[in-house]
A and B are shown apart, each in its own frame.
Chain A
Amino acid sequence: MKRNTVLPVLLILVSGLALVAFGIYRHERSPEGSMVIVKSIGKDENRVVARQSLSSDETVTIPVEGPLGTTMVEIVGDRAHVVSSPCPDKVCIRMGWLRRVGDYSACLPNRVLVEVVDQ
């Protein structure tokens, strides 16, 4: 790399890091959600499969039928996650625990959307 490109490259790298830091900061500050909504993504509109309060202490498992099979969503106390899914890439499971407002996990192949909202 030439001398005169090092500084601009560093600058843009720093701006990238700043964006990442901003994203994480905003996520950390968002309040905890009170309800989780499980949706099935339809062709024309999303169908709500289940609404579950995030305040109880019990563990609830919600099965969602999709084109590939059944996606299992588990709600444990004040957080939720996707436990199992028939999709090939498992992005939905990798998204981990959802507890803050705006947290979501989506399985596009099996057309399932889990999101945390405040009510």
Chain B
Amino acid sequence: MKPGKLQRQVQLAMLTAVALVLHVIESLLPPLPVPGAKIGLANVATLITLRHMDFWPGVAVSAIRSILGSIISGKFWGLGFWMSFAGATVSAVAMGISLRLSRPDASLVWTSVIGGIVHASCQLIIAVAAMRQPALFAGAPLLLGLSIITAVSIGIVCDNLDAPAQRLMQSGKRG
């Protein structure tokens, strides 16, 4: 095993655990009045992984978090699971691509907003396909607007987490 590989695995496991805890905490909070709209707390962990580790670890944290999260909350394999899984994974891929394209010191708010918009669109498309009810697209402005607002907040949170995350990534390297 290459030196540092174990450390990366431990960091990845910790980030996945953090994502899972945030996911569960969010499911305990009173939901937003608009169905489908979410605060996206677990996205904090995805964004941190994408920025401080790499593209695929970030996508993996997001996908594994939604699988384990839905098992814990008893929604595994239902339509709700597929909406959450597809939304989380596709938005993580979109955020990863946007991070690759932006400057390394750019604010995470943009990435978060892109992720939020992709997530909301993904959920809406799956819901419309599942119900065969294109009329649901009427709710799109409200859903997108709410997800932009929450995504900006999450992005600001992540920007402020840069220093602690850096410390987590660097810890142990000296020892």
Please provide the chain B residues from 120 to 142 with a CB less than 8 Å away from any CB of chain A in the complex. Answer: 127, 130-133, 135-136, 138-142
Contact partner of A45 (CB less than 8 A), chosen from B75, B79, B132, B159, is: B132
A20-B142, A45-B132, A94-B31 are contacts. A13–B149 as well, Cβ < 8 Å?
yes
- Judged by a CB distance under 8 angstroms, whether B98 is at the interface is no
- How far, in whole Å, are A26 and B156 apart by their CA atoms in the complex? 30
CB distance from A92 to the nearest CB of B (A): 9
Chain B residue, CB-CB nearest to A27:
B142
CB distance from B8 to the nearest CB of A (A): 29
A5-B109, A13-B149, A16-B152 are contacts. A22–B131 as well, Cβ < 8 Å?
no
CB distance from B16 to the nearest CB of A (A): 23
Q: Mark B46-81, 1 if CB is under 8 A from A, else 0.
A: 000000000000000000000000000111001110
A45-B132, A104-B133, A108-B130 are contacts. A16–B75 as well, Cβ < 8 Å?
no
Chain A interface, DSSP helix/strand/loop, else mixed: helix
- How far, in whole Å, are A41 and B146 apart by their CA atoms in the complex? 27
Chain B residue, CB-CB nearest to A15:
B148
CB distance from A100 to the nearest CB of B (A): 11
CB distance from B27 to the nearest CB of A (A): 9
A9-B107, A24-B142, A113-B133 are contacts. A1–B148 as well, Cβ < 8 Å?
no
- Judged by a CB distance under 8 angstroms, whether A102 is at the interface is yes
- How far, in whole Å, are A16 and B154 apart by their CA atoms in the complex? 14
- Judged by a CB distance under 8 angstroms, whether A78 is at the interface is no
The answer to whether B141 touches A23, judged by C-beta atoms less than 8 angstroms apart, is yes
Using a CB–CB cutoff of 8 Å, the interface residues on chain A facing chain B are 1-2, 5, 9, 12-13, 15-24, 26-27, 41, 45-46, 88-89, 91, 94-95, 102, 104, 106, 108-109, 113, 115
9 A–B pairs (Cβ distance < 8 Å), ordered by A: A13-B149, A20-B141, A20-B142, A20-B146, A22-B141, A23-B140, A23-B145, A109-B78, A113-B131
